[in-house]
Structure 1
Amino acid sequence: MNIRRIFCASATSVALAGAGAASAETMTIGITQNNVGVDSYQTTYEKAFIEAANANATVDAVVLDAGGDVARQIAQMEDLIQQEVDAIIIWPTNGEAVIPAVRKAHKAGIPVVVTNSNIAQAGFDFVASFSGPDNINQGARSAEIMCDKFKDMGIEKEAQVVHITGQPGYTTAIERAKGFEDRLPEVCPDVTVVDTQPGDWNREKSQKVMEAFLVKYDDIDGVYAGDDNMGVGALNAAKAAGREGIIFVGATNFAVGYEAMERGEYWGSIYQSPVDDAKAALQTAVDVLQGKDVPFLNYFDTPKITQDNMGDFSKPVF
C-alpha cells in the first residue's frame, strides 16, 4: 500500500508524486478533502482515512486537501483525472461549484464517491454513491432535542432561539439548517427563531456572532449551532456576558461539546464519528470498484446525545 499525501493544489505538485493508474493488483483511490485544518473533525477524518488505506493492501491512496478553496479543489479533481486514478472521493468545498469537475470525472469513466457533505442534486447523475451522515435528519433531531428541553422547562409556548449556521453554500450547512428549521415548527410551533447568521464552522467567528445576538436580543432561550465547535463559541460568548439559562444544542459532538455537557453548560448534540466517516468513504469506493451493490445514499447512524444519556457514549477523540 502506498499513501501519497499532497498538501499543494497545483497540477505540478501532484504530478511529481508519481501517481499513475492502478496496477492489476491494486486500485488507486484519490481523495480531495474540504479543509483539513479548519477543525478537529476534519483533522481526525484525514488521519483515520490514511490509517484505513494503510490497512488495505489493495489500495494506493492519493490524499489531497483543498484548504477550503473551491478553485483548488477543482484543480485537484482535474489532476486526479489526468492521473487516471481508479476512483475519486470528494469532500466538497461547495456543493454547487464542484459539479462540473465531478461530471468531468464521470465522463472519464472514473467513479466518484462524495463523502460527508453531499453535492447539489443537479450533480447526482455523476456520482456513484454518497457516504456520510443524513444531515437533514441531524438538523431535525437537534430541533427535537431543543423542543423536548423547552417542554421540560415549560417555555415551549414562548421560547426564542437564535441559529448559527455553517459555511454558506456548503451542503452540510444547508441541510442541517433545513432539517432544524423544518422540524422545529412541527414539534414546537410556538417557538420563534429570531435570527440566523453563519459561523463558518469557526469557533471564534461564532463567538462574535453570538456576542452580536446578545447585544441585539434581551431574551434568548436557545441556540442551535450547526456543529459543536460553533456551539461552544456561542456558549463562550454567553458566559463572558453573564447570560445564564440559555439552552445550547449543536451537531457533530466534538470533545469540547462533550466536556461542556459534562459541566452542565451545553444541553445536547448529535453524535458523529469522523473515524466511521472516513472508513465508510474508503470502503464505499472499494465496494464500487469491486462491482458490489452500493446504495446511492449510504448513510451511517448519528444518534441524539444529551446530558441525560451521554454516559452511553464515549468522549469524542476530536
Structure 2
Amino acid sequence: MLTKTKATLAATTAFAAVACAGSALAQDSFTIGITQNNVGVDSYQTTYEQAFIDAAEANDNVETVVLDAGGDVARQIAQMEDLIQQEVDAIIIWPTNGEAVIPAVRKASQAGIPVIVTNSNIAEPGFDFVASFSGPDNITQGSRSAEIMCDRFKEQGIADEAQIVQISGQPGYTTAIERAQGFEERLPEVCPNVTLLETQPGDWNREKSQQVMEAFLVKYDDIDGVYSGDDNMGVGALNAAKAAGRAGDITFVGATNFAVGYEAMEAGDYWGSIYQSPVDDAEAALQTALDVLNGEDVPFLNYFDTPKITQENMGEFSKPVF
C-alpha cells in the first residue's frame, strides 16, 4: 500500500487553516469552481471527480461548483466565463486544450480570481495567469516509462536492435505532448540503439488504440515494444497483439496505471507503467486551491510523485480503483 503524497498528507492542516483564515479574510467559507476535461472518457477522470467532491464535502469551509467540459474546448471556455460571473473565490481547470483555454484563464486572473491548473498544464504563454499547477510531472513520467522499456530490453538482450511503436494521447493535450516528449528524449539516452518506428494518437481511447495497433502490426513485421501514454490505450494495443497472435513477442509499457493495466501485469501480458492515483490528484488540486486562497507560499509546479511499477515490484502497490 502506498502512502499518499506529501501534498495530500498536508490536506488536513490546510483544511484546518481555512477556519483560522476565514475571519482574517472576512468570510466564513470559500467557493471553488472546477471545470474538468472530460469526465466520461475514462475511469481515471470519473474517479478524480468523485474524489474531489468527497474531499470538498468533508470540509465545512468549502463550497464547490463542479463542471465538466465533456472534451469540448468551447464548452470549457463558456464554463470559465460562467465561474467568473459567479465570482467564485478560485477556479480549478483541467484543460481540454492547453493553448485554447489561455484567454479564459487570463480573463479569470484579470478578474482577481486565482486559477489552479490540475493534472495537465496549460501552454507556457499562459503561465503568468496561473497561481499554481497541481498534478503529475508528465515529462518525468514519459522518461521513467522509457527507462522501464530500456531495462526490459537489456534483460532480454535486445537493447541494440529493438524496434518500438508509440501510441500517444489526445493531440494538443499537454499531458499527451509531455509524456511523449519525456519518453522520446530519455529513450536515446538510456538505449541509443532502440528504433522508434512510428507514433500515432490513440486519443486516450482503448478501442481507437486497438485499431492503431492493428495497423502497426500490419505495417511492421518486427515490433519489440509498445509505449502508450496511458494503460487504457496500452491494453487496447495489447488486445490487438493478442488477436494477431503476437503479444508474447512484445513488451508493453504505459503510464497512469489503470486497473486493466494492473490486471494485465498480473496476468504476465503487460510489463510496466507509472503509478498515479486520481484520488491523490484530486485532493492535491483542492488543497493547492485552499493554500493559494490562504496566502500560503505555493510552488508554481506542485507535483506529486508517480513511481515506476512493473511485474517485478507490483506487489508493493495497491490495485488501482479506476
Instruction: Work out whether the TM-score is over 0.5.
Output: yes
- 1:90-105, aligned counterparts within 5 Å? 90-105=93-108
Number of the residue aligned with 1:262: 266
C-alpha distance in 1 between matches for 2:63 and 2:266? 41
Q: Does 2:136 match 1:137?
A: no
Q: 1:227 aligns with which of 223, 230, 253?
A: 230
- Deviation digits for residues 235-287 of structure 1 (CA, Å, limit 9, x no counterpart): 00000000121000000000000000000000000000000000000000011
Question: Which residue is 2:286 aligned to?
Answer: 282
Deviation, 1:24, is 1.6
Residues of 1 paired with 2:287 and 2:188: CA distance?
38
Query: What is the distance in 1 between the residues matched to 2:31 and 2:293?
Result: 10
Task: Output the amino acid matched with 2:110.
Answer: K
Amino acid at match of 2:321: V
SS of 1:63's equivalent? strand
The residue matched to 2:208 in structure 1 has which SS?
Answer: helix
Q: Separation in 1 of the partners of 2:139 and 2:122?
A: 14
Name the SS of the counterpart of 1:200 in structure 2.
coil
Match of 1:294 in 2: 298
Whole-Å Cα distance in 2 between the matches of residues 156 and 94 of structure 1? 36
Aligned to 1:193: 196
Structure 2 letter corresponding to 1:164: I
SS at match of 2:116: strand
Deviation of 1:146 after TM superposition, in Å, equals 0.1
- Between the aligned partners of 1:147 and 1:78, the Cα distance in structure 2 is 46
1:278 partner amino acid: A
- Report SS of the residue matched to 1:25: coil
Rounded to whole Å, the distance in 2 between the matches of 1:297 and 1:117 is 11
Corresponding residue for residue 150 of structure 2: 147
| 1:24 counterpart SS class | coil
Q: Identify the residue that residue 206 of structure 2 maps to in structure 1.
A: 203
Q: For the residues of structure 2 that align with 1:114 and 1:79, how far apart are their CA atoms?
A: 17
Runs of 4+ displaced beyond 6 Å? none
The yes-or-no answer on 1:30 pairing with 2:24 is no
Counterparts of 2:154 and 2:91 in 1: how far apart (Å)? 46
In the alignment, the residues of structure 2 paired with residue 120 and residue 24 of structure 1 have an alpha-carbon distance, to the nearest angstrom, of: 33
In structure 1, stretches of 5+ residues that fail to align are 1-21
1:121 equivalent among 124, 134, 150: 124
Give the structure with the larger helix fraction: 2
> Which consecutive unaligned segments of at least 5 residues does structure 2 have?
1-24
Q: Is 1:69 paired with 2:72? A: yes
- Equivalent pairs: percent with the same residue? 84
Q: Which string of whole-angstrom CA distances, capped at 9 and with x for unpartnered residues, describes residues 143-188 of structure 1?
A: 0000000000000000000000000000000000000000000000
Q: What secondary structure sits across from 2:295 in the alignment?
A: coil
Looking at structure 1, the residues matched to 280 and 156 of structure 2 have their Cα atoms a distance apart, in angstroms, of 35
Partner of 1:16: none
Matched, 1:314 2:318: yes
Deviation at 1:23, TM superposition (A): 8.2
Partner of 2:20: none
Select the residue among 138, 148, 171 that pairs with 1:168: 171
TM value normalised by structure 1: 0.93
Work out the CA distance in 2 between the residues paired with 1:89 and 1:289.
12
1:84 paired to 2:84 = no
Report the Cα distance in structure 2 between the residues aligned to 1:293 and 1:23, rounded to whole angstroms.
20
How big is the shift at 1:196? 0.3
SS at match of 2:236: helix
What secondary structure, in the 3-state scheme, does the structure 2 residue paired with 1:224 have? strand
Distance 2:249 2:118 in 1: 37
